[in-house]
Structure 1
């Protein structure tokens, strides 16, 4: 990117209203919380969980929710404020304040805020690094400094974003520096630029996010129902937001984990305890939506009401009678449409929308946005490719049925320039063509696989000049791949090793283990059999897959572990959004896996693929019956190896008390029986 052209083309005039809003919000902060009042500011005027919208708004609520034009610190839990009151009435403190009385903790935190503001006022920025409590709330502290001293700090508070911007503008960000120090570094770079130095800090912020946005390009798109039968849609559309219920749990910002929120959901809705972990995870994802994220509002399984773009972060609106969890959204009703077929995954309030499906929605809207639309690489594939870029080889590990091999092949399609086929009907043919081309190879390790198969060895070959066989030096699969890669440096060559842990890895790789490291690529070693010189080219990548139910990562040779990046591929309940009668599949999988983890361990959990049919969630009683009795139950019986009591702890009332065998439930009754056992607050017996 030519930054000079980007600066010249940036439309500063379009930010006139934003600049006015930012100044108005800044003046509100200065009026309500004058600089001179900080040394005596009471806790009641600072902490979340005490104030509400209006004259008694607290400082933390004002900065996180009411001053978006001054830079965002939304997302995540309220612990970033260092002190807040939980919905239960309990005070939550930052790590270096724990164990203190809340008033003593507040005196210390307030003292550090006052010291920071006073030091910056006299130009002594070194004091900031000697304030340990503020280190626990760097985003809030940095935004505070930018509000009170806009000439000294830019309105950007995220440490990771600041480091990305420093690098984008040609600087080298200091490792492990607190956000305010990186902010000062970025400000110095901006001040040294002859054009940017003349801009308002708000203009600089918008320019940087416009041109160098460090947030992931492939962010999750969510389908969110605006109430049962879209009962809140009219007000959502006119008010520019999306809202959901579960008001009883209070402000979602107070929860630091999905487990904590699940406990709150369990206390209010114990009859659905089995599915509350999924709800908790979805609610926290909803809380953490960021400006620029896309959402789809739906009515039932066949109608899109609108597609929207998040404009501000989440807030808990106490002034509303219902559906107090609110996220501001700019809606575009031009995408309203009836879908050609029902989306069975859309029964719950929340559901993830795949990149491919979202692209279809945009194309069906027949608008300009879809004309140049590119199918993005799925997020999990992007993450795996990033690991490969860093380590050169990765192992995908997790329970059986979680899609490890599928993910490896998806990454291979992306490497081979076939990313558009990752989630399309022609995926199978694209994989076949990819493997036939030779740059991508697939092999399955097994106990008898050895060095002679992988690198080189003497093997019997037919001797045309004589009768019988003779031994000949034969190159193995990896040797052939590396030889081809060395002749074609412009392309990446990839080897996928399925069931990598079933082979004797030190024996298979031999001396080549050393050459796998990125800084050893291109270095030649002498092969042990032929004595030939051999090197692993820099453009070779390896992806291995392993089921942790067979053998955990800890059992791998230490030298192997050090040279591979490890990517956990766990059960994905979001892939199962949908229901069969009363049985919500994602909640069933989560509840079942919770019991397996409690009775066995997480390595023996069940992957979502067990509840898929042709890559789609199970849809009929017959499909559920087949998956349960032919796949899931035999697997669990194998895990329990004849221990009827252990199987009973997992399946509860679905195990015959007399025989210890799984109870046989009729096809038409199985969904109800599973829902009663796993989703109605049932516990392992």
Structure 2
């Protein structure tokens, strides 16, 4: 770290220290230290050379727990290494009882011998103070969080309790450090050194530093918000409030921290709570309970009574999950610091009636809290981060999946989020807060000037006629002048940039053409203009000549000696953007022809001429048609992006698989590759040298019910990343239609669909959403069932009514090959489906 911190960083640290209470944190730090000491006593360094795999591995049940169980679960208050799969522990026992280990080893004994030796080497290096080599131990490659957590447990003064490489790099960047290429342990050591160089933090222990870092600059892009009912009808609320926790039932399953994996927990939950053999219900309810293990300090909890009463809003504290056997019931608890000032009555949240633990949408959380707090939790979906990573790596990505999984919905929102700054800009998530806010910003990013409107640069001599006369006279007939070749190309609706020559030598007006050039009319009546806007502080002649893009334009090359000059789309966009920067009032009329977000839909008739360039019919001044070489949408975007390298441009291609990809992209299929961005190729029709800039990204969507990803053109598959979106029943959590639990219904229905016709033809969650909100009535469900769901299933099953009856139960009359009378009544329809698929919300 540099000796001098920037003033902004120092101010930020001091501000955070003022709102951070060390005495409040000290109890959590002491408890964490006690856990760490207990771990070291149970697994001393001297035990490692002869440690058995049964003492180490996750997935085994032993007295007191294994090393990995302690690192993953028991000591989470010390430093979290949650997230990801069990493979981060290198050697573990799977839910099926089989050993899992890196593929370079032939058996578990060989794997454990290598991993154990790696740990012994790791601890020896640390004891010698040689932490720089700790990231290079071959046997421990791929286990960065595990290495870091293990080292901190034994050497707490030499590291900070942060195990995530992403978090470490975030903290270093926030401190003004460059973490590029730093592996996890070296990044951790660099962070500790940077923190120790700050006098205000000198007295803090490393555990306290960990707490402070997440208070000051939390790198998590989202804060989870859930509602948890503290007992039936909030019967346990007074106890929860007094003891700073929330409690839930399902006590027969026992202490959650005893289970080495979520899979092992679910097996035990299924045994204790079989829910009449309905696996979807088992999955739904077990997920609710396991949420207590997944919530982290800083996440938010809403305590509720019924569907419309909020008792308090709380923040998960460092205590985390605790099994409390001393309680008579509701023994699963989660440490929460409560704030009862948010107690209120809300519009009924119907989903709360059937769930103990459920997610809370950002809009509802904001309505409850009124936006209070320094960090309003806005959920940035994981898939957005996946899309961002794929674009940085490849430059283009296809989001694919079954119908109704929100592919276009996701692609649109991810595009706007990316253009607002993505993960590098915390405020980018603000645009996702509400649909109306998103839609306004999407329109702003995509609403460009009509491409058919040419932009012209027109010069007037103020000694003969000043542009100010146009605004007083409201119209003017403009005479024929130089360059005469341009006049026949002018069309009604074209935008004119008005420039005054000496002595003004500045752009002073915007105008619009209202009548086109008539070669038979008198020269003084060549064109008719109307005023659009006066320009304040317009571009001068010197600035025109100095600009790297405008210096090559017609007016600059002819030194403004003439009357009518043509501007290319890129030159016009550049000039309008400069004018709008100086005069914000012009923003609405000076829109560029290509904005940062461009959306197109591929179809069988879409061509290379539409996408890149080609000859298209255009009307001439005398009304005839002629073929004109016209730039396609992708070429225009690339030219705009090349002139605006500091900003991203996104082309969103809906239904990308419905177009003939090789034919549409042509030679550009090579240029879009990340390592070939900037390379040029000569286009065959215009003869222009063309390149795809690195700041242009392509996001495609694809419906797998129409076409499998495996049938796509091989060249496309090599050059695009692919991200799958599957049905997400969590978005329907708690939603009911009559007695039908929609999330359980969707899971059970799709399980049957996968069995018969495959995973690519599942039913998406979006079918049961309206404006992002789950339907909540039997009538709404019945309409969707009859007009959307049933026709889709009939298509999938080729009108085989015996198969439909197997899938949907009594609502199908297989003998008469029709929908049964049970479907005529919405409530009865929902009840029959609930019984057939085990999706009864009251179960």
Q: Does TM, scored on the shorter chain, surpass 0.5?
A: yes
State yes or no: 1:231 paired with 2:242: no
Residue aligning to 1:309: 315
What per-residue deviation string (whole Å, max 9, x for no partner) do you get for residues 210-239 of structure 1? Answer: 44433x322332222223322332232222
Select the residue among 334, 339, 342 that pairs with 1:332: 339
State yes or no: 1:352 paired with 2:352: no
C-alpha distance in 2, partners of 1:402/1:421? 18
C-alpha distance in 2, partners of 1:59/1:263? 22
8 A Cα contact 2:362 2:377, kept in partner: no
8 A Cα contact 1:245 1:323, kept in partner: yes
Select the residue among 427, 435, 451 that pairs with 1:424: 435
8 A Cα contact 2:322 2:332, kept in partner: yes
State yes or no: 1:587 paired with 2:593: no
C-alpha distance in 1, partners of 2:89/2:614? 63
Give SS of 2:813's match: coil
Residue aligning to 1:400: 403
Q: Which runs of 5+ in 1 are unaligned?
A: none
How far 1:398 moved relative to its partner?
Answer: 1.1
Select the residue among 149, 154, 163 that pairs with 2:160: 154
Do the aligned partners of residues 247 and 633 (structure 1) sit closer, same or farther apart at CA in structure 2, a change above 3 Å counting?
same
What per-residue deviation string (whole Å, max 9, x for no partner) do you get for residues 608-631 of structure 1? Answer: 121123432222222111111111
State yes or no: 1:71 paired with 2:79: yes
What per-residue deviation string (whole Å, max 9, x for no partner) do you get for residues 244-285 of structure 1? Answer: 333344454536456982784277324242333333444444
Q: How does 1:261-300 map to 2 (within 5 A)?
A: 261=266, 264-265=269-270, 268-271=273-276, 272-300=278-306
In terms of Rg, which structure is larger?
2
What per-residue deviation string (whole Å, max 9, x for no partner) do you get for residues 506-565 of structure 1? Answer: 111111222223443343321122212223334333221111111122222233233333
Give SS of 1:609's match: helix
8 A Cα contact 1:222 1:353, kept in partner: yes
TM-score (norm 1): 0.82
Select the residue among 366, 369, 376 that pairs with 1:362: 369
Out of 488-497 and 589-598, give the one that drifted further: 488-497
How far 1:343 moved relative to its partner?
Answer: 1.4
C-alpha distance in 2, partners of 1:611/1:174? 45
Residue aligning to 1:612: 769
State yes or no: 1:205 paired with 2:218: no
C-alpha distance in 2, partners of 1:91/1:363? 49
How far 1:426 moved relative to its partner?
Answer: 6.3
How far 1:143 moved relative to its partner?
Answer: 3.4
How far 1:325 moved relative to its partner?
Answer: 3.2
Do the aligned partners of residues 481 and 28 (structure 1) sit closer, same or farther apart at CA in structure 2, a change above 3 Å counting?
closer
Do the aligned partners of residues 77 and 264 (structure 1) sit closer, same or farther apart at CA in structure 2, a change above 3 Å counting?
farther
Residue aligning to 1:556: 712
Residue aligning to 2:653: 497
Residue aligning to 1:533: 689
How far 1:92 moved relative to its partner?
Answer: 7.6
State yes or no: 1:95 paired with 2:101: yes
Give SS of 2:808's match: helix
Give SS of 1:70's match: coil
8 A Cα contact 1:39 1:110, kept in partner: yes
8 A Cα contact 1:249 1:265, kept in partner: no
What per-residue deviation string (whole Å, max 9, x for no partner) do you get for residues 69-89 of structure 1? Answer: 633345678887788999x9x
State yes or no: 1:673 paired with 2:832: yes
How far 1:474 moved relative to its partner?
Answer: 1.9
What per-residue deviation string (whole Å, max 9, x for no partner) do you get for residues 574-622 of structure 1? Answer: 2223112321111111111111112111110111121123432222222
Residue aligning to 1:543: 699
What per-residue deviation string (whole Å, max 9, x for no partner) do you get for residues 36-75 of structure 1? Answer: 56678899998887678xxx78876766666566333456
How far 1:387 moved relative to its partner?
Answer: 3.9
8 A Cα contact 2:378 2:433, kept in partner: no
* Count of aligned pairs between the two proteins: 665
8 A Cα contact 2:253 2:272, kept in partner: no
Give SS of 2:667's match: helix
Residue aligning to 2:581: none
